[in-house]
Structure 1
Amino acid sequence: MLDQKTTARDAELFEAIELFFYAFRAFTARPDEILAERGLARLHHRILYFVARRPGQRVSDLLATLGVSKQALHAPLKQLVEVGLVLVEADASDGRARCLSLTAEGAELEARLSQTQRELLARVFAGQGAAAELAWRQVMQELAGTPDEHEPE
């Protein structure tokens, strides 16, 4: 129920917030199930995803991409290394820095997780058409920040 001070526009924005929540829940549901089978969680998926997209990146770059602290990344990254999904190697140009890549098993898991999301997006985009996909991308870029802020270098 709307209170007296809630405008029609506020109601539309509340609905948009709810749609965003339900869409994200649908987008992450299958990957979350796959991860849970291995005792992993959504942050593990984010790590696998971005390491797969940028193999050889430094841990510091992954921290910046994910926007998490060293403390928040430490345990899940350590777990991924321990179960043989991620490799950590010294950077060839700076032995103090650590670079990340996926093992074959890590790449296989990441591909399986992302495939479920690619299939969902492909189905939705095909049903809505190119103009709707473009509009969605523009909205997502605006929500994420500047369009090239999150692009790989």
Structure 2
Amino acid sequence: MTDADPIKTPLTLDDGVDFAIIEHLFFAYRDFTADPDAILDEYGFGRAHHRVLHFVNRLPGLTVAELLEVLRITKQSLARVLKQLIDDGYIVQVPGPRDRRQRELYPTQKGRDLALALALPQSRRIRAALEEAEPGDSAAVERFLRAMVNPELRAQMDKLPNGRSK
């Protein structure tokens, strides 16, 4: 057999990987993002816009540097998305009170309304999924998802208001 020969058998648990959980995450993510994607498309926005809107609404006053750290993207990637959200009136940028070079980000009412419109179908999907689960599974799901985040980055989740995961 050469590297170019087709392999006609699927990968399985015998290969040392739990493919079922991986596939559940793939499908869950696909469907979790589908409703917001449809809404974003109406505005000419994408998932990057959604992430920026989400965190600016969850942490008003977040600096650009802090947002870059949370999203783990480059300044160049953020610049285009942030400019569009600012130009279209979803986010405002103000100089920091201590350091005028720092830029703090705040949602406008328009940005708050869009963030809620994007989060509501996701919240409904989560609520419906948890209703199908056993009582008490919600905490287990939160612990599981938290454990999926790199340990050194979990502190970022703790900064979110009303966070239940600790």
Is 2:70–2:156's contact at 8 Å kept on the other side of the alignment? Answer: no
Amino acid at match of 2:84: Q
Deviation at 1:132? 2.0
Q: 2:158: which partner in 1?
A: 151
Q: Give the Å deviation of 1:149.
A: 4.2
Give 2:3's aligned residue.
Answer: none
Shift, 1:43, TM fit: 0.6
Detail structure 1 runs of 4+ shifted over 4 Å in the superposition. none
Q: Which has the higher helix share?
A: 1
For the pair shown, the structure with the greater C-alpha radius of gyration is: 2
Name the residue aligned to 1:37: 42
- Within 5 A, what are the aligned runs for 1:118-133? 118-133=123-138
Structure 1: stretches of 5+ with no match in the other structure = none
The answer to whether residue 107 in structure 2 is matched with residue 102 in structure 1 is yes
Q: Which amino acid aligns with 1:132?
A: D
Root mean square deviation of aligned Cα: 1.7
Gaps of 5+ in 2: 1-8, 161-166
Q: What is the correspondence of 1:5-24 to structure 2 with a 5 Å cutoff?
A: 7-8=13-14, 10=16, 13-24=18-29
Change (3 A) 1:135 1:52: same
Q: Deviation per CA, 1:95-119: give whole Å up to 9, x if none.
A: 0000000111010000110111111
SS in 2 for 1:94: coil
> Does the residue aligned with 2:142 lie in a helix, a strand or coil?
helix
1:145 & 1:22 partners in 2: Cα distance?
22
Give yes or no for the alignment of 1:83 onto 2:51.
no
Q: Does 1:139 align with 2:144?
A: yes
Displacement of 1:139 after TM fit?
1.2
Q: Normalising by structure 1, what TM-score?
A: 0.91
Distance in 2, Cα, partners of 1:120 & 1:91: 37
Residue 67 in structure 1 maps to residue 56 in structure 2? no
Distance in 2, matches of 1:25 and 1:144, equals 19
Task: Tell me if the contact between 2:60 and 2:105 (Cα under 8 Å) persists in the aligned partners.
Answer: yes
